[in-house]
Structure 1
Amino acid sequence: MEATDIHGRELNELSDAKFAILPLGSFEYHGPHSPLGTDIFLADGFGNKINPELGGVVFPTVPYTACPGKTNKYKGTIPIRPSIIQEYLIDIVEGIVNQGIERIVLLNAHDGNMGISRAVAEHITGKHNSASFLLLNWWQMVEIDKADELGMVGTKGRGHGGPYEMSATKAFQPHLVHVEEDDTEFPDLEKLSPHPYILVEGTPGSWDGYTGLIQQTSLEMGKKIVDEATGNLNTLIENWIKK
């Protein structure tokens, strides 16, 4: 159910929803082969892939947000200051809670939304003890070791604008992803440690506003990624609702 389609005389459909889905995107440069609305298309796409039988209501995707320094410098990116988007999201989520919906999925398609989403969820649950948030990054809905099975050889391909992200985008918008033969490719860099870590740099290595072996981008792989992510996404939400 789309929140935008609900009429004023049918507002009970909002309060009766089991949970809300708020997709989070960005308007950001993803390389010469990729649309500026990549994260919007992914957020919209996966939001609409959530099984309607689970009883959720999908709110409009947030299109503008904070973008990291490494993409701010590229023409096409429209960044919002982190403090502004955090306050904006607080107001949106507070408004959803005020409709009587206390379970909210923040369905994220942009790396820069991760910290902000967590801060917003923590703030709202501090004010509303019965509120519950599920913070989901779509790209984490497929196991890392499935890269070879999906056709990404020699790279995990999960970087910004890389074959993983752009194949998924192609599955939703096949006419908007165009990799050309002379587009530069960037191999994975050697990891600093096998343990999880976050490295923030203004100009990363193996990077020009995007990364990865982008010639591996394909519609076939994108459909596999989207199907796998969708199945795992719906299973997770179903388990959360039952909890």
Structure 2
Amino acid sequence: MTVQPLLWAERTWNEIPDDLAAAAQAAILPIGATEQHGPHLGTGMDFVLAEALAHAVSAETRVPVLPTLHYGCSLGHSRRWPGTLTLDPLVMTQVVVQIGTSAYQSGVRRLFLLNAHVTNAAPLRCALEMLRAAHDDFMVALVNSATISERVRAAHFADAEDWHANAAETSLMLALAPALVRPERIAEADDPDRTAGLVFAHPVNRTSRNGVTGRPSQASAAEGERLFAWMVEDLAALIRRGLSETPPLPHSYDAPAERS
């Protein structure tokens, strides 16, 4: 029988404490974005991936999954293409801090921020800093789905350094959510990476003709299945390590150092 993920939203208030106790007080927060993904992928690609990955890993580890955050920091995608719904970095930081604070109040002490959108990384790192400073016994990890491991990173970066809606993402959606894919548009969606050697970080409207960076024409469902299996295996291993990790030193965040 297939093991189902442990979903926070399906649990009652008197079940959650036991769920957390059995998982070293850990939870996973999947975070994506709603943004244009070229002419061939639906705007929900990032949050669909984050949720699918979190659910698969929860089924392996029994770590509860918080409800997915569907919106991210997508300001760089500009208003050239319709479909992007974005939070600014300050708002996103505060949203994640408030979610994390509520999770802490419910008993979570190990929080894995599972991010499937590259430019969420900066506000999520800020949220991590704020949460662990506010709660001395709160451990927060930021895991970016495309760089879980070296083999996962290599697959994502194979066709572009500044990739977006590329072969890897298209393959993943062909395997996981084919309803988000327009197969008839894939062959003409390729667009090269124009960011090599640049000094500034330019928005996508100035680096891509169609919102894509990479070669989705190289995608296949078989490659998506293989890549997703790697992502599940490698993230589950990382989370299992985190379930037994303790800080290297016991020093309190707030207590002053003793004078020698």
With normalisation by structure 2, the TM-score equals 0.81
Q: Which amino acid aligns with 1:183?
A: E
Equivalent residue for 2:182?
A: 178
1:212 deviates by: 1.0
Structure 1: stretches of 5+ with no match in the other structure: none
Kindly indicate whether the alpha-carbon contact (under 8 Å) linking 1:102 and 1:131 is maintained by their aligned counterparts in 2: yes
d(CA) in 2 for partners of 1:226, 1:107 = 14
Equivalent residue for 1:28?
A: 35
CA deviations 1:117-140 (Å, max 9, x no partner) are 110011010011111112111111
1:155 deviates by: 2.3
Equivalent residue for 2:164?
A: 160
d(CA) in 2 for partners of 1:192, 1:157 = 11
The SS at the match of 1:50 is helix
Equivalent residue for 1:229?
A: 231
d(CA) in 2 for partners of 1:154, 1:80 = 29
Cα 1:153–1:226 shift into 2, 3 Å: closer
Equivalent residue for 2:54?
A: 47
Kindly indicate whether the alpha-carbon contact (under 8 Å) linking 1:22 and 1:105 is maintained by their aligned counterparts in 2: yes
Kindly indicate whether the alpha-carbon contact (under 8 Å) linking 1:189 and 1:205 is maintained by their aligned counterparts in 2: yes
Kindly indicate whether the alpha-carbon contact (under 8 Å) linking 1:169 and 1:177 is maintained by their aligned counterparts in 2: yes
d(CA) in 2 for partners of 1:158, 1:221 = 20
Structure 2: stretches of 5+ with no match in the other structure: 1-5, 246-260
1:71 deviates by: 4.1
Equivalent residue for 2:122?
A: 115
The SS at the match of 1:21 is strand
Kindly indicate whether the alpha-carbon contact (under 8 Å) linking 1:6 and 1:13 is maintained by their aligned counterparts in 2: no
Q: Quick check: 1:241 aligned with 2:243?
A: yes
Equivalent residue for 1:201?
A: 202
Kindly indicate whether the alpha-carbon contact (under 8 Å) linking 1:70 and 1:201 is maintained by their aligned counterparts in 2: no
d(CA) in 2 for partners of 1:169, 1:109 = 13
**2-11 or 215-224, larger mean C-alpha shift:** 2-11
**183-192 or 69-78, larger mean C-alpha shift:** 183-192
Equivalent residue for 1:12?
A: 17
1:31 deviates by: 0.6
CA deviations 1:86-117 (Å, max 9, x no partner) are 11111100000111111000000111210111
d(CA) in 2 for partners of 1:50, 1:101 = 18
The SS at the match of 1:135 is strand
d(CA) in 1 for partners of 2:57, 2:210 = 34
**89-98 or 79-88, larger mean C-alpha shift:** 79-88
Cα 1:175–1:51 shift into 2, 3 Å: same
**71-80 or 177-186, larger mean C-alpha shift:** 177-186
> After TM superposition, where is structure 1 displaced by more than 4 Å over at least 4 residues in a row?
144-147
d(CA) in 2 for partners of 1:222, 1:15 = 32
Q: Which amino acid aligns with 1:179?
A: P
d(CA) in 2 for partners of 1:122, 1:146 = 25
CA deviations 1:3-24 (Å, max 9, x no partner) are 0111233242354242110000
Kindly indicate whether the alpha-carbon contact (under 8 Å) linking 2:165 and 2:214 is maintained by their aligned counterparts in 1: yes
